[in-house]
Amino acid sequence: MKTPFNLKNLIRPNILELKPYSSARDEFNQGQETMMFLDANENPFDTGLNRYPDPQQRILKKEIEKHKGVSENNMLLGNGSDEVLDLLFRAFCRPGKDNIITLPPTYGMYGVLAAINDIENRKVLLTKDFQPDVPSILQQVDAKSKLLFLCSPNNPTGTVFSETAITQLVTSFNGLVIIDEAYIDFSETESWSKKLNQYPNLVITQTLSKAYGLAGIRLGICYASEEIITVLNSIKPPYNINTLTQEKVISQLQNIKKIKTEINLITKEKNTLLKVLVELNFVIKVIPSETNFILCEVDNANKRYDQLIEEGIVVRNRSKEPLCNNTLRFTIGTPEENKRLIAILKNLK
Ligand SMILES: *Cc1c(COP(=O)(O)O)cnc(C)c1O
């Protein structure tokens, strides 16, 4: 039996004792028109942006709560989900001492953040059908294993991890299990955010960079227990989500119908591309994807990559990743782009 989960045992001692920075806008709520704000050394002349943003992003979180069905109390926003991931390292991993577990082939940032923070990255390969190898993962775990990263749907494979495997890991691992759901909006599977109440060690990250068409504004979302959110809030930069980003997301979420239409269109184009790829003679294997990209194995990835560059098309060569020899990753473009890509692929010699 595993010991009961206790967050206090996971937090770095210095973070546990931290007295967070209190910004002027933390001490007093914004939006009170009648008040005169002479507390934050801002320029008083109105530019629409002369005031610091709301450090707690209250209005924005309420909007996200409406769309995603997760309480704002279980939510932390980051400058992209990459910032959220970095906060997790800095809150829980002691440099030079602790370790994390990642499951290659997967998103490269986990390893980069581990290296930046001087944290050992214990890599446990996915199985041949791109599922977590649960026994091998649990074998790698020790008392200093703080974070386990599960990317589902996974980048670069596009595949979803089985509910059974994830459940086994969340219930057996005593550190935090982070499920990176950057591509969840393209998937048929339900978000794990619905199960937050069941698992105190569950952390979910999502992003507006992929399905929501807002990679340029940098907004990532983290869902977790209130206890975990409080820790992350205590170390985040006070004004990490700028005013333009907050306003743009609020207005974009009013267009949710348009976003859903785009997601459907991207999915349709993905299926079109998939059908073409499987028929091509230089394509060896196409991996079914629950994302907005397709990973496929070809006869010679470097050659095909260069041929596409010649045609002015940039794809991602993932051949250096384990289990991904001779693979290319195609992001799904507009119907026009997809049409052109398909025409070119069919003509490659
Ligand atoms: C693109 C991507 C992200 C990056 O999200 P940002 O919010 O843009 O920082 C995170 N995780 C995975 C798996 C991704 O593919």
Ligand 1 pocket, residue 296 CB under 6 Å: no
Q: Is 125 within 8 Å of 140 (Cβ atoms)? A: no
- The gap between the terminal CA atoms of the chain, to the nearest Å, is 58
Across the range 156-184, mean pLDDT stands at: 98
For the chain, residues classed under CATH 3.90.1150.10 are 257-347
* pLDDT value of position 162: 98
Across the range 249-278, mean pLDDT stands at: 97
Buried b (16+ CB within 10 A) or exposed e, 56-94: bbeebbebbeeebebebebbbbbbbbbbbbbbbbbbbbb
Res. 182: pLDDT tops 70: yes
78 Cα: distance to centroid of ligand 1 (angstroms):
12
Across the range 149-169, mean pLDDT stands at: 98
Closest CA to 103 of 143, 144, 157: 157
The percent of residues above 70 in pLDDT, for the chain, comes to 98
Tens digit of pLDDT for each residue in 3-56? Answer: 789 999 999 999 999 988 888 877 776 666 788 999 999 999 999 999 999 999
Q: Which atom of ligand 1 is nearest to the CA of 154?
A: 13
Ligand 1 pocket, residue 107 CB under 6 Å: yes
pLDDT tier at 208 (50, 70, 90 boundaries)? very high
Which residue did the predictor score with more confidence, 24 or 98? 98
Class of domain 7-254: alpha beta
* pLDDT value of position 29: 67
Closest CA to 103 of 180, 25, 36, 167: 180
* pLDDT value of position 31: 61
pTM of the model: 0.96
For the chain, residues classed under CATH 3.40.640.10 are 7-254
- CATH code: domain 257-347 is 3.90.1150.10
Average pLDDT, the chain: 96
